[in-house]
């Protein structure tokens, strides 16, 4: 039997964005599973460098990469976010800052920034950083 394959999503706790992100990542990367790390407004947490929460996120991502062999990590932003109630432009800025922080962790993964619109709950790729 083939070994299961994984990717990782740092996603908002908002239930409206869970399935669109999981479905998109499974299809995009052709994997069996998506490890999901949730926080309210994770793009804002990462951009503001909230030390304690970022440390917890980093540890969870590390576990996913080292124990499940995750080859990609997505950071997710979405419209109508209660945890980070800012404009779309601000979200996208937070997303890019958060992606840079993830890159600084030195993990052997592709990093992708995803935007989920609040009308159709569809995934849009904002930026990607190739695997080192």
Q: Give the chain's largest Cα–Cα span.
A: 47
With the C-alpha atoms ordered 122, 30, 53, 16, is the resulting torsion angle positive or negative? positive
Looking at residue 124, what is its pLDDT? Answer: 97
| pLDDT confidence bin for 132, thresholds 50/70/90 | confident
Q: Identify the pLDDT of residue 2.
A: 63
The domains located in the chain, with CATH, are: 6-129 (3.40.1050.10)
Question: 27 is written with which tokens?
Answer: 């299809």
Q: Could you give the CA distance from residue 124 to residue 13 in angstroms, rounded to a whole number?
A: 18
Is the pLDDT score of 54 beyond 90? yes
Q: Is the pLDDT of residue 94 over 70?
A: yes
Residue range 102-121, pLDDT digits in tens? 999 999 999 999 999 999 99
The mean per-residue pLDDT over the stretch 42-71 comes to 97
pTM (whole model) above 0.85: yes
pLDDT of res. 78 = 97
Contact criterion met (CB below 8 Å) for 126 and 91: no
Average pLDDT over residues 32-57: 97
C-alpha of 118 from chain center: 17
Distances (CA, A) of 33 to 36, 38, 68, 89: 9, 16, 10, 30
> pLDDT tens across 9-31, in order?
999 999 999 999 999 999 999 99
């Amino acid at each position: 039997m083939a070994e299961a394959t994984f990717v990782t999503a740092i996603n908002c706790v908002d239930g409206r964005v869970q399935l669109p992100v999981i479905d998109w990542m499974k299809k995009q990367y052709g994997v069996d599973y998506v490890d999901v790390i949730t926080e309210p407004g994770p793009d804002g947490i990462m951009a503001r460098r909230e030390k304690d929460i970022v440390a917890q996120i980093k540890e969870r991502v590390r576990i996913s990469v080292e124990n499940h062999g995750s080859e990609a990590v997505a950071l997710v932003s979405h419209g109508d976010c209660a945890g980070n109630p800012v404009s779309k432009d601000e979200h996208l800025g937070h997303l890019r800052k958060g992606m840079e922080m993830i890159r600084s962790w030195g993990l052997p993964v592709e990093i992708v920034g995803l935007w989920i619109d609040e009308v159709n709950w569809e995934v849009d790729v904002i930026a990607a950083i190739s695997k080192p």
